[in-house]
Structure 1
Amino acid sequence: MLDCHEDTLVILAKNIAVEMHYHHAIQLVLSLDKPYDAVLDHQPIESVKGFLIDSDIPHACQSADSTVLVISVDASSSKGRLLKSHLLKRTFILIDELFSAEAIDEFLNFYWRCCDTSQHEFDPLYFLHKLSHEQRNITPFDARLLIAIDFINQDISQIIKVIDIARHISLSESRLRHLFTEQVGIPLTKYVLWVRMKVALREMLKPGVTLSDAAHQAGFTDHAHFTRTFRRMFGVSPSLLLKYGQFLQIFGL
């Protein structure tokens, strides 16, 4: 299952191992059955139940025997910045430190009840909602960056030049690059790639759309460029993710 609410991408993956990868999103990961082994920021950790990891931090999961819920939140969104505040300047934190054992067990029991009956609707964003309800002091972005982000998202299928974005918000290229990296946390060009990837995911779900079509609509130079970027961001090929997805849907892109 792959689902996206605005800046939130949700994947329910069964029996899949992902290679070392990193991406713009801040990620909350939880096993719904068996613990799994992971490498988080180059640190091997055995029998992981779940974790919260910052954007652009390398990680891999050997969850070939597990059902894993993966929630990826755009780091430049308000929800992403709130999640980042829970890391307390660490690169990752295990889920046991975020939630009580009782809260995790309650969530897992409800998930499996939803699998056995149609009487309840499973909310994959349960833990994200719990964290979002906590009051945190989040420093707002520079207003010009919000305009730049909106400009990038207007038509991602086209070639996007830094100079055009800079002119749009009346900044020099160097100042824009510095400000974007300082406040968003990744270089501007990496953010553009992330937006292209979100659009490609949306296109992949449309009937009759090939991976090459999706790559073209999102502005990737070719199918090979798209596949390389996808594997770097998700640790698997796009075809493998589709193969192991039970239900795929994206909202708000």
Structure 2
Amino acid sequence: MTRMATEPLPDSCCDDARPTVWLWSGHAAYRGPSLRLGTHSGSVTCFALGLDAPFLLRSGPAEPRRVRSALIPARTSHQIVVGEEQTMLFFYVDPGASGTAHLLAAMTDRAGTIAYDHRDEAALLADWRPVMDPEMLRQRLLDAGEANPTDERIRVAMRLLRDRPGERESAAELAAAVNLSQSRFLHLFSAHSGTSFRRYRLWARMRYVAAAVSQGADLSTAASDAGFASPSHFSDAFRAMFGLTATQLLSNQLRIIVMEHRAVDETLTSS
């Protein structure tokens, strides 16, 4: 079993070089070494930024590209290759949040499945050099003031999955909770989220595990409570989603900060 020691930490900022994960109610961010990631396919969209230098991105039959930033959609198999000492930033975008369309529009090369070259790369890098402030990053990437285009019923279902992933909600149960047939629910979920119901449920469970570990839970117990059938189920799912094992990530003096003061979906939390 893996247990992570915790210590008092500020809610948003980090002033040292230790690898860190920040968790919002649906988003997540990681800043730290690249960790030699294998080929993987995320459950939600990921924004990648090379904090020290450009990185090589491989995906499918296309030629690898060396870039400083990329927006990688959910369920897109890829590999990021960088030097061992290079620091990366990954921001995982909850598909039910406002601002996701703004992030895509900010990528200047949108010709393929993966979008490249954020128009404000220099400003993003400058933000992260003096003070590591993930809330500033979240605001710069996502806060555009536009209405949330996601169907309200799907946003409700996403919130239910995030709030209680360990209860193993089935598609049929959530469809009934938002007054939809199962087939209509699954169709709307994929159409509005850019990922599948199964993959988003997996994302919600992973976030639950990380939050539990940040509070001192051991990894096996946290995974079981989140709804994973066995330790091997969790381990296989984690590697497929992130390109390494959870144990590899936690063994690197990682710290996890839960950003509880900021909800992803302000429309729902204020209603």
Do the aligned partners of 1:35 and 1:47 also contact (CA within 8 Å) in 2? yes
Count the aligned residue pairs: 239
Q: Is the 2:58–2:64 contact (alpha carbons within 8 Å) kept by the matching residues of 1?
A: yes
Q: CA deviation at 1:133?
A: 4.4
Within 5 Å, which residues of 2 pair with 1:114-125? Answer: 114=130, 121-125=131-135
Ranges in structure 2 where 5+ consecutive residues have no aligned partner: 1-19, 264-271
User: Which residue number in structure 1 is paired with residue 142 of structure 2?
Assistant: 132
Alpha-carbon RMSD across the aligned residues, in angstroms, is: 2.6
Match of 1:146 among 131, 139, 155: 155
Which residue does 2:115 correspond to in 1?
93
Could you say if the C-alpha distance between residues 34 and 154 of structure 1 is closer, same or farther in structure 2, counting changes exceeding 3 Å?
A: closer
- Does 1:158 find its partner at 2:167? yes
Deviation at 1:251, TM superposition (A): 2.7
The residue number in structure 1 matching 2:22 is 3
Q: Is the 8 A contact 1:52 1:92 kept in 2?
A: yes
Q: Return the offset for 1:186.
A: 1.9
1:132-173 Cα shifts (integer Å, max 9, x gaps): 34465x562222222322333342112212221122222211
Q: Specify which of 209, 216, 222 is matched with residue 224 of structure 2.
A: 216
Q: Deviations over 1:68-88 (max 9, x none)?
A: 111111122223343244455
Listed as ranges, the matches of 1:46-85 within 5 Å are 46-63=65-82, 64-85=84-105
TM, length-normalised to structure 2: 0.77
Q: Aligned to 1:249, what secondary structure does the other structure show?
A: strand
- Corresponding residue SS for 1:166: helix
Q: CA–CA distance in 2 between the matches of 1:190 and 1:33? A: 31
Matched, 1:235 2:243: yes
Quick check: 2:44–2:92 contact (8 Å CA) kept in 1?
Answer: yes
- Please point out which of 174, 177, 190 is paired with 1:181: 190
Say which structure is richer in strand.
Answer: 1
Deviates more, 1:19-28 or 1:234-243: 19-28
Cα distance, 1:126–1:93 mapped onto 2, change above 3 Å: farther
After TM superposition, the structure 1 stretch with the greater mean CA deviation from structure 2, 23-32 or 189-198, is: 23-32
Output one character per residue of 1:154-211: Cα deviation in whole Å (capped at 9) or x when no partner: 421122122211222222111111111111122212211111111011112222x222
Structure-2 change in CA distance of 1:249 and 1:135 (3 Å): closer
> Which of 2, 7, 18 lines up with 2:37 in the alignment?
18
Given that residues 14 and 244 in structure 1 are in contact (C-alpha distance below 8 angstroms), is that contact kept between their aligned partners in structure 2?
Answer: no
**Partners of 2:22 and 2:257 within 8 A in 1:** yes
Change (3 A) 1:133 1:3: closer
Structure 1 or 2: more helix by fraction: 1
- Report the 3-state secondary structure (helix = DSSP H, G, I; strand = E; otherwise coil) of the residue aligned with 2:33: strand
TM-score by length of 1: 0.82
Residue equivalent to 1:201: 210
Identify unmatched segments of 5+ residues in structure 1.
Answer: 115-120
Task: Specify whether residues 79 and 199 from structure 1 end up closer, same or farther in structure 2 by C-alpha distance, changes over 3 A only.
Answer: farther
Output aligned runs, 1:29-44, within 5 Å.
Answer: 29-40=48-59, 42-44=61-63
Cα distance change, pair 89–220 in 1 and its aligned pair in 2 (3 A): farther
Identity %: 23
Cα 1:123–1:220 shift into 2, 3 Å? same
